[in-house]
Structure 1
Amino acid sequence: MTANTPSPRLRLTLFDLDHTLLPIDSDHAWGAFTTRIGWTDPVEFERRNDAFYADYQAGTLDVHDYVRFATAALRRHGPEAAAAAQAQFMREVISPALRPQALALVQRHQRAGDEVLIVTATNDFVTRPIALALGVGADGLLATQLARDASGWYSGEIDGWPCMRAGKLRRMEQWLAARQLAWEDVESRCYSDSMNDLPLLEKVDHPVATNPEPRLRALARARGWRILDLFGTP
């Protein structure tokens, strides 16, 4: 490479998690799991959890209210019980939901030399072990960060920008800036199923509508974006 030859741009591949690399919503599944193990009232929790999930699908979720609700049982039971529940959740709910085609897609980008990140609205307590199981690791995870109180345990608030909708774009800009990079310095690709990720999909060089919800599928067709049905024909 001569002095006048520009350096190749970093290839950056971003994955949403729920319904993109996983066929389930890990956040909603965690809530259902806490009910099953007796941490929450089954009727009231399911009602509120389903209502928050509907708001998320509609793009109207108040993420701060949701995180307070979703972490209440976790905070109440404390670190030791939370760690045991997290491990059980991974064994019983997440591991059976891991699909070889999702793992193969991540690995293909890794073998190609891409910087691979999972960028998810679901909080870091739930998603950190999932990122590890997918071969990305904690360093490759951008999730909604749970704030901690003076004791070091979760407070119920969010630390920094929620990693959802336009917040995903802001978190990615922070990630790039920390490495003295801008979007122009990378060749970027994003896989997502959701219209909630439209700000990020519109920003990257190569948007991929993955297992897309109907509105995103229609938009992707109209714009000529690639559509990937990772888990089979819808």
Structure 2
Amino acid sequence: MNLTLFDLDGTLLPTDSDHAFGEFLVRIGWADAGEFKRRNDEFYAQYLDGGLDIEAYVQFCTSPWRERDPAEIAAAQARFVDEYARPSLHPQALALVRGHLDAGDLVAVVTATNDFVTRPIATLFGVDTLIATELDRDDSGRATGAIRGVPSFRDGKITRVRQWLAESGRTLADFGRSTFYSDSTNDLPLLELVSHPVATNPGPGLRTIAEQRGWPILELF
């Protein structure tokens, strides 16, 4: 069996779902169009530069919705999927994922974006296993604004993938081929770990590294 891992934002999706969800919250009136949007853009710039404080970001990005009624939250999540996620699906990205699933690969989406935003998006791609930054929740199931466990970000992606594989008694060495598709230098730790890294819609930094190292470069969009 082969192992295939996909980053989500910028890799399978043409934009960043976390940042887009923040813009969606502004659009539906749950977040301020001035200060919240400014800070959301600021955090996104930090991510692109490789300097994101992910704990601070999760505290910030969940603040507009985590105290709301659960039914309201679920309705907003469904609306975001219909208005953003579905229209953002590209046939080439869907076909890439489907090809690996049909080949019998063990497939997972591995993303730094939180599980509340990305769970339904992974489902749209037909992928059951999502390794995302998990939101801490209280006894009633309400998000607290903290992160549960290791965030799936930079080196944390390696930790979380290894934890997931260990649950079924596996390691990376058990696979004939391990592939990771990503667009970002934030994912260099996991790209360097697998046997087949693929720079997918890469930003300038990752494109340069891929060219220097002879990694395949895939343009989906």
After TM superposition, the score normalised by the length of structure 1 is 0.93
- Structure 2 counterpart of 1:22, which letter? L
Deviations 1:81-105 (A, max 9, x none): 1100011111111111111110000
- Whole-Å separation in 1 of the counterparts to 2:69 and 2:196: 42
Structure 1 stretches (4+) deviating beyond 2 angstroms? none
Post-superposition offset of 1:23: 0.4
Which residue pairs with 1:99 in the alignment? 90
Which residue pairs with 2:187 in the alignment? 197
Deviations 1:89-133 (A, max 9, x none): 111111111111100000001111101100000000000100111
Post-superposition offset of 1:72: 0.5
Deviations 1:187-212 (A, max 9, x none): 20000000000000000000000000
Name the SS for the 1:42 alignment partner: coil
- Whole-Å separation in 2 of the counterparts to 1:94 and 1:176: 28
Deviations 1:51-84 (A, max 9, x none): 0001111111110000000001121223111100
Post-superposition offset of 1:181: 1.2
Q: Where does 1:93-172 land on structure 2 (aligned, <5 Å)?
A: 93-137=84-128, 140-172=129-161
Q: Where does 1:174-185 land on structure 2 (aligned, <5 Å)?
A: 174-185=163-174
Root-mean-square deviation (CA, aligned residues, Å) is 0.7
- Whole-Å separation in 1 of the counterparts to 2:72 and 2:3: 37
- Counting matched residue pairs gives 220
Residue number among 186, 192, 198 corresponding to 1:208 in the alignment: 198
Tell me, which stretches of 5 or more residues in structure 1 are unaligned? 1-9
- Structure 2 counterpart of 1:227, which letter? I
Which residue pairs with 1:217 in the alignment? 207
Which residue pairs with 1:6 in the alignment? none
Tell me, which stretches of 5 or more residues in structure 2 are unaligned? none
- Whole-Å separation in 2 of the counterparts to 1:151 and 1:135: 29
Name the SS for the 1:73 alignment partner: coil
- Give me the identity figure in percent: 59
Name the SS for the 2:69 alignment partner: helix
- Whole-Å separation in 1 of the counterparts to 2:69 and 2:207: 42
- Whole-Å separation in 2 of the counterparts to 1:146 and 1:205: 30
